[in-house]
Amino acid sequence: MTARPPQDAGAPPGTAFPPPRTAAGEGEGPVCHSGPKHGAGSGRRAPLWATGVSVVTALVLAGVTLTHLAMLFLHIAPPNAVTARYGERIDAYVQPEFGQDWKLFAPNPLQRDEVVLARVRTRDEDGGHRTSEWTNLTARDIEEIRGNPAPSHVHQNMLRRAWDSYVATHGTSDRDTGVRAELATAYLKRVVLQRIGREWRGRPVVALQVGARFTLIPHPWRPAQGTGPGTVSRRTLPWWPVTERDHEGL
């Protein structure tokens, strides 16, 4: 610990400023010589067994580190000969702990505003059905985000990602194919139900429909190609029945 510069303001000014370093050595900085506190051990030569253990540890660490970094690189890299062959094994190593996706706004940012809407169907006493107007759920999120220096994940991510995960697991079809698709449907349904509640105008909700409206953001300097109809598109999901179980825990 002798080489550690006094960082605790106990030193006279000046000594806390190490002399300029060369480019290569920069940042290498004062290292903590972490020799034993009691001063013994460091001066003597290490016995053979200690050197052996040190070397083995170093080799193992080197192997683990390099393997880990190679796995990370291959996981992120575009598909190539290696990932074609060992892709599954690489993913099995990396996922889920080190899973990563850094393509934020890349290769292109989203060029349309996506708005998630929902409407519900209620049942009257006489058995007749009534359908509500579309509610803009995204607008509620935006209202929470506006003027908020630290928006909550509930408003910034939950609904948006629930919709994205539905689209990712379903594509353009609305059929649940597989566990993940079923889960994405149930999740989106519950995210929306949590926001809409059990009742509409005093009547119990028996069915729910979710949809989305996409508005193209105009290009900054190229003249807009057909303003109006072409810039807005929609997707409406099928009606989903709602039971008491869907509200469980919300």
Partner 1 sequence: MNTITATTADSGAPAAPRPAPPGHRPRTRLARAAGAARTTRAPYQAALFRIAFAAVVTAFLLREWPHRRVLYGDRSPLSFDMALTLLREGGGFTVLSWWGGRPWFEAVYALTIAASLAVLVGWRTRTASVFLLVGVVSLENRNTLVGDGGDNIIRIMVIYLVFVRCARVWSLDARRARGRGAHDSPDRTGVVLWSVTGLLLLWAFGPGTLLTPGWPLLLWALWAVHGLWYTVNRRLPGHHLRTLLDGCAAMVHNCALLVIAVQICLIYSTAGWYKIQGGRWQEGSALHYVLHLDYFTPWPWLSGALASNALLVILLGHLTVVLQVAFPFTLFSRIKNVMVVALIAEHLGIAVLLGIPFLSLVMVACDALFLPTALLLRLGPRCAAPLRRAAGRPPGRAAPPPAGSAGP
**Smallest separation (angstroms) from partner 1 to the CB of 72:** 6
Residue number, 46 or 238, with CB nearest to partner 1:
46
Residue pair 242/205 in contact (Cβ under 8 Å)? The answer is: yes
**Whole-number Å distance between alpha carbons of 151 and 160:** 14
**Smallest separation (angstroms) from partner 1 to the CB of 229:** 20
**Smallest separation (angstroms) from partner 1 to the CB of 21:** 7
Strand partners, 242: none
Pairing of strands 112-123, 129-131: antiparallel
Residue number, 86 or 164, with CB nearest to partner 1:
164
Q: Which of 203, 196, 198, 199 is nearest to 123 (CA)?
A: 203
**Smallest separation (angstroms) from partner 1 to the CB of 244:** 14
**Smallest separation (angstroms) from partner 1 to the CB of 15:** 10
Residue pair 203/123 in contact (Cβ under 8 Å)? The answer is: yes
**Whole-number Å distance between alpha carbons of 216 and 129:** 35
Residue number, 62 or 174, with CB nearest to partner 1:
62
**Whole-number Å distance between alpha carbons of 121 and 128:** 10
Strand partners, 241: 207
Residue number, 81 or 104, with CB nearest to partner 1:
104
Residue number, 88 or 101, with CB nearest to partner 1:
101
Residues 6 or more apart whose Cβ sits within 8 Å of residue 7 = 16
Residue number, 24 or 84, with CB nearest to partner 1:
24
**Smallest separation (angstroms) from partner 1 to the CB of 131:** 23
Tokens of 132: 């509500």
Residue pair 54/46 in contact (Cβ under 8 Å)? The answer is: yes
